[in-house]
Structure 1
Amino acid sequence: MTFSLLIRCPRTGAFGAAVTTSSPAVGARVPWTAAGQGAVLTQARTDMRLGPRGLALLASGCTAEEAVAALVATSPHRQWRQVAVLDAAGRTAHWTGPSIRGVLASAEGPGCVAIGNILSNDRVPRAMLDAALAAAEEPLAERLLRALEAGEAAGGEGVPLVSAALRVQGPHVFPDVDLRVDFSPRPLAALRETWEAYAPMAELYLARALEAASG
């Protein structure tokens, strides 16, 4: 009952992650990113340990494919997990356990991967990827939002969404953007409203973090 996306920006090297679901506070569980290393999604019967573990594998030099293989091999309940990994070179890999029920789907493109479980149909991840790729000139956060909106328009989960999150990881130890809607009857609309309020200030907040006298 979750659909999500990872993107690497080829211009900046930043990583983006976005996710939405019909349970609360998805942003605290599913997306994980690390500067210069890559990003991980862990969902279905979510094991939050797979996020940091996947990032550690990338930091050790694993490719996305190698990281997913290692996560699957070392997870005792792998049959219930769904994961995706994006590495620093833009390579992607994913795994969906055979015990996960409902409509399951995934899609990969250049520097991006989308996954979903318990979906209304198997077109949702491809719709997300198509929207993200069509908006290649937009800021990464905007591309992530459009992908979530396209996934919902393509059918989403078929049950009401209640939480959503997006993250953009630049070159610093902290994310450039980390926005969450934890419980709302319209989480994607609320996330877009939050982004549109935050976007004009994003560069200033970053500048102040790096140089307090800025602005």
Structure 2
Amino acid sequence: MTFSIVGRCPESGQLGIAISSSSIAVGARCPWLRAGVGAVATQNVTLPALGPQILDLLQNAKLDPVAALDRALSADDWSQYRQVTVIDVDGRTACFTGKEALGLHAAVAGAQCVAAGNMLAGVEVIEAMVPAFENAPGSLADRLLAAMHAAMAAGGEAGPVHSAALRIVSDLSWPIVDLRVDWADDDPIGQLDRLWQAYRPQMQDYVTRALNPTAAPSYGVPGNE
């Protein structure tokens, strides 16, 4: 039903999530990030509230990812239906898969990343994601997408994938990347990658426009924002 990877770039400090699902609009419910704090993917039978709750515990209670995840799940009467992964600003990770998780499921932690999924074609889908992320060159977005492509090459979900999302935060209060394919009959991860390739050369320009409009380039389209 869903597979994802949360990761951190040790050079830039950026935190990110890439995720895909057979369900519509996975990016609306499952990836949660907060600059300077961490990233949470909450999936399987998704409780979106777990994302902000865990981020609050990381930020305000100063808990490590394992303790924050445990505390949030302890307050959820249906925690055995959840699959959740967490990474904090220091690259520490945690993951949980409840006994009621759908189909074949797996979670694997690596160097400053965690991959997890359910309703998988095989556990090798998740096992392929971590080395793909760890060994891929380029930016955090490139590495997250490399992991997603590796998952699909290893078999992906048991059924067709229809939606995908990529979200990244840096040291700003808003995401510097927030791209979604909410529904596609074919290859949403490929479509998401193409969105990233189109957005990549403009990403810094949009940051510049926000911080210093007088230095911002114009794209020459009416009402562009």
Q: TM-score, normalised by structure 1?
A: 0.97
Residue 161 of structure 1: aligned partner: 161
Deviation of 1:128 (Å):
1.0
Residue 109 of structure 1: aligned partner: 110
Q: Counterpart of 1:37 in structure 2: which amino acid? A: V
Deviation of 1:142 (Å):
0.9
Deviation of 1:160 (Å):
1.0
Residue 213 of structure 2: aligned partner: 212
| Structure (1 or 2) with the larger CA radius of gyration | 2
Q: Counterpart of 1:34 in structure 2: which amino acid? A: R
Residue 140 of structure 1: aligned partner: 140
Q: d(CA) in 2 for partners of 1:17 and 1:26?
A: 12
Residue 70 of structure 1: aligned partner: 71
Q: Percent identity?
A: 44
Q: Counterpart of 1:125 in structure 2: which amino acid? A: I
Q: Which runs of 5+ in 1 are unaligned?
A: none
Q: Counterpart of 2:167 in structure 1: which amino acid? A: R
Q: d(CA) in 2 for partners of 1:209 and 1:46?
A: 33
Q: d(CA) in 2 for partners of 1:192 and 1:75?
A: 35
Residue 30 of structure 2: aligned partner: 30
Q: d(CA) in 2 for partners of 1:192 and 1:101?
A: 27
What are the within-5 Å matches in structure 2 for residues 52-91 of structure 1? 52-60=52-60, 61-91=62-92
C-alpha contact 2:39 2:87 (8 A) present in aligned 1: yes
Deviation of 1:158 (Å):
2.5
Q: TM-score, normalised by structure 2?
A: 0.93
Q: Counterpart of 1:84 in structure 2: which amino acid? A: T
Q: Counterpart of 2:112 in structure 1: which amino acid? A: G
Q: Counterpart of 2:160 in structure 1: which amino acid? A: P
Superposed CA RMSD in Å reads 0.9
C-alpha contact 2:43 2:84 (8 A) present in aligned 1: yes
**Partner SS, residue 204 of structure 1:** helix
Residue 42 of structure 2: aligned partner: 42
Q: Counterpart of 2:69 in structure 1: which amino acid? A: V
1:9 aligns with 2:9: yes
Residue 181 of structure 1: aligned partner: 181
Q: Counterpart of 2:188 in structure 1: which amino acid? A: P
Residue 131 of structure 1: aligned partner: 132
CA offsets, 1:125-152, max 9 Å, x none?
Answer: 12111111111x4111111111111111
Residue 93 of structure 2: aligned partner: 92
CA offsets, 1:4-52, max 9 Å, x none?
Answer: 0000110111101010010110000110000100000100000000011
Q: d(CA) in 1 for partners of 2:102 and 2:84?
A: 15
Q: Counterpart of 2:64 in structure 1: which amino acid? A: T
C-alpha contact 2:44 2:102 (8 A) present in aligned 1: no
Deviation of 1:124 (Å):
1.2
Deviation of 1:117 (Å):
0.7
Q: d(CA) in 1 for partners of 2:144 and 2:2?
A: 15
Q: d(CA) in 2 for partners of 1:189 and 1:84?
A: 23
